[in-house]
Amino acid sequence: MSIFGSMKTAVSGMNAQANRLSTVADNIANVNTTGYKAVSTSFSSLVLPSSGGNYNSGGVQTSVRQAVSDQGDISYTTSSTDLAISGDGFFIVQGADGTPVLTRAGDFTKDDEGNLVNAAGFQLMGYSYDSGAPAVVVNGFDGLVPVNVNQDGLTAIASTSGVFKGNLDSNAKVAPVAPATLPSANAATTTTDTKKVSMVAYDRLGNKVMYDFYFTKQSVVTPPPAPPATAATWEVAMFRNADAAVGGTTSFPYSTAGGDVGTGSITFDANGKLTTGGAINIVDPVTGQTIAMDFSAFTQLGADFSGTGTPNGQAATPVKDVTVDGDGIVYAKYEDGSTKPLYRIPLANVASPDKLTLMSGNVYSANGQSGVTVTGFPQTNGLGTIKSGALEGSNVDLAGELTEMIESQRSYTANSKVFQTGSDIMDVLVNLKR
């Protein structure tokens, strides 16, 4: 047995316990850090070969383990830009150097430029809706831009398209054949079965423009032998509501130049499904706009008439708030209650999150042991859900850390006693010469 060897073993034990105490100190210091993941110290023995009945003491080495995959408690806040991930995944953020990294710290606030940054100063990244609904790049960070929620001033967007859906009653009566009596001829409605509904769109300045839609059954085709339901064709006629007649019992005649602003036919088969005529344009001579209307979602079944129109576009209203839904879509919420998607926030993940490289600012980068980074939208491919107005807390168990600290202190003291005993033995050996 080597006395010096036992003293070196004691030193390695003290170093190991010092490392353990360092991880405990980090965990306790970050017990209130948003999205912080606890670290722990693992011990493994170092053995030296022994022979001839002599035992050579070895030592101990340590390695640090991260509990990145363990979910922290989620608590709700009063800020809509505070974001928490429930489940797997990381926010993609970038620092001042522009390098994308990963984090679970979602305590985002607006900086002086309107970008969302967390407490460590990292900018949240997302895909913009400027060119329509974005698509995710699954194997990289291309296309990501800083999420900017600075929506000062008024914004107006003209309507260019719309979707109209609902049901036309299959029991409605057929209108008289004379074309001059149909709504498209700017004449009074022909039967009580002609249905009217209105929709609001927006011009280039954000002004509301209301359009009246008239649905009139024109013909019925009963193929032999006659089934319980028959195919039918309906006329769709559209007018500017502002040009409707006043003072009478009907909106006809409309004063718009040329009468209607759009007319077409939609045809249903014997099962009540639309077969032709799903696309009809509104051509407004006053605003100069063309709005492509889609009627393909209509049915003709034995139920009451129903219809609802949803155009694109936006009125000239200021932004009241910014919200984020569980799919990661960032919406601007306007004073009139309407919303507009601005960005979609992706999440990223790796095969082994606990092997990620920890960096300052509570962020991580991928490496060879963690696996490659895969990006996707929330609630897809096993990724979690984004919760707005919430934060994920640290997953540190404070009571457990205090226990670890006591254990580390006792173990360090015991190792120091081994070192002290070896030192005393060396004193005895030295004094033998005297």
pLDDT value at position 178? 73
Cβ-contact 5, 56 below 8 angstroms? yes
pLDDT in tens, 277-326: 899 999 999 999 999 999 999 999 999 999 999 999 888 888 888 889 99
Q: How far is CA 253 from the centre of its chain?
A: 49
Helices 398-432, 3-29: inter-axial angle, 10-degree rounding: 160
pLDDT value at position 49? 80
Triad 240, 245, 250: Cα angle to 5°: 105
Higher per-residue confidence, 318 vs 118:
118
E-only strand ranges, 325-425: 329-334, 339-344, 347-349, 357-359, 363-365, 374-376, 385-388, 390-392
Q: Is 23 helix (H, G, I), strand (E, B) or coil?
A: helix
Rounded to whole angstroms, the Cα distance separating 184 from 199 reads 17
* Average pLDDT, integer, range 221-226: 55
pLDDT value at position 298? 96
pLDDT in tens, 323-359: 899 999 999 888 877 788 999 999 999 999 999 999 9
Taking alpha carbons only, the member of 217, 283, 286, 228 closest to residue 256 is 286
pLDDT in tens, 386-427: 999 999 999 999 999 999 999 999 999 999 998 888 888 888
Residue 11 DSSP symbol: H
**Token representation of residue 289:** 């706009």
- Residue 180 makes CB contacts below 8 A (sequence gap 6+) with 187
Bridge-partner residues for 148, per DSSP? 115
Q: Give the position of tokens 């002086």.
A: 112
